[in-house]
Amino acid sequence: MSETSTAAGGISTCSITLQLNGQRREVEVYPWTTLLDLLREQLHLTGTKKGCDHGQCGACTVLLNGKRINSCLTLAVMHDGAELTTIEGLAHGEELHPMQAAFVKHDAFQCGYCTPGQICSAVGMVAEGRAQTRDELREQMSGNVCRCGAYPNIVAAIEDATAETRERLAGAREVTP
């Protein structure tokens, strides 16, 4: 990370590099810019939603180095060199990620606002391997709020996509050196 001075009042910005959805991105950010605001405002990746902006709803969940985080609670400058995956980076072209396809199949959304965070959190949860039962799944997903109450369908979608998501994750590990 390097520091550069901007013309506007001598306020310093920081240059950071991210591996964002499989592509290297170099960006200039102010030290106080959250990862969420970087994604939405600077990089125009608006799939990640701003809900509560306090880490309580999970709408802003993304995968950072394969682990789920609330992007509203972390500063972008803290993640120079990190691998970041947003909802936009889960699909391969027109082919949906298994978790995305399962959410569609099970109608696991109503208004859809929480859906990107729910999906990213579910993919991260599967990678963690901690949710083996339906009750554990519900507990592990409790940080993602759905105000419409689509929880039964969300749980069904995650259960449906878990095996295929694990296979995809295992395949990605084999390819990555």
Domain that holds residue 150: 98-175
The percentage of residues in the chain with a pLDDT greater than 70, rounded to a whole number, is: 92
The CA-CA-CA angle for residues 139, 70, 45, to 5°, reads 125
Q: How confident is the model at residue 7 (pLDDT cuts 50, 70, 90)?
A: very low
Residue 81's H or E segment, with its range, is none
Structural domains of the chain, count: 2
Given a contact cutoff of 8 angstroms between Cβ atoms, the answer to whether 54 and 72 are in contact is yes
CATH number for the domain spanning 129: value is 1.10.150.120
Count other Cβ atoms within 10 Å, centred on residue 55: 16
- Give residue-wise pLDDT tens across range 46-90: 999 999 999 999 999 999 999 999 999 999 999 999 999 999 999
The residue among 61, 89, 117 that closes a domain is: 89
